[in-house]
């Protein structure tokens, strides 16, 4: 007998699950460059992502590329000291 397990999906318009949410900060450095023309990139999961002129192309510490819009960039990132 097989048991089907329900998987809960969370989207941007869904209420978050109840419970204590703890604050976490990423430990990796993300490198970025501001793009001057539209672009595409593949993330580590193989999904094709699209960016617009003015978006940032980010490269995470694991080699994955992804676009970041200027609003999210300003709200979430600052230049880090890196050696």
Using the predicted structure, report yes or no on whether residue 18 has a pLDDT greater than 90. Answer: no
Q: Is residue 4 part of a domain?
A: no
* Model pLDDT for residues 19-72, shown as the tens digit of each residue: 888 888 878 888 999 999 999 999 888 899 999 999 999 998 888 999 999 999
Structure tokens at 18: 């109840």
Name, in order, each residue with C-beta under 8 angstroms of 31's C-beta and a sequence gap of 6 or more: 58, 59
For residue 56, give its domain range. Answer: 31-73
Evaluate if pTM is beyond 0.75.
no
Sheet containing 65-68: order of strands: 31-34, 56-59, 65-68
Which of 58, 25, 30, 26 is closest to 43 using CA atoms? 58
Q: Is residue 13 part of a domain?
A: no
How long a stretch of residues is the chain?
83
Which of 62, 24, 65, 22 is closest to 43 using CA atoms? 65
Q: Is residue 64 part of a domain?
A: yes
Using the predicted structure, report yes or no on whether residue 1 has a pLDDT greater than 60. Answer: no
């Amino acid at each position: 007998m097989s048991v089907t397990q329900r998987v809960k999906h969370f989207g941007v318009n869904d209420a978050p699950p109840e419970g204590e949410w703890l604050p976490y900060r990423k430990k990796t450095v993300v490198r970025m460059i501001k793009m001057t023309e539209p672009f595409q990139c593949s993330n580590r999961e193989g999904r094709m992502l699209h960016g617009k002129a003015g978006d940032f192309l980010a490269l995470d510490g694991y080699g994955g590329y992804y676009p970041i819009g200027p609003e999210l960039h300003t709200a979430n990132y600052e230049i880090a000291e890196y050696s």
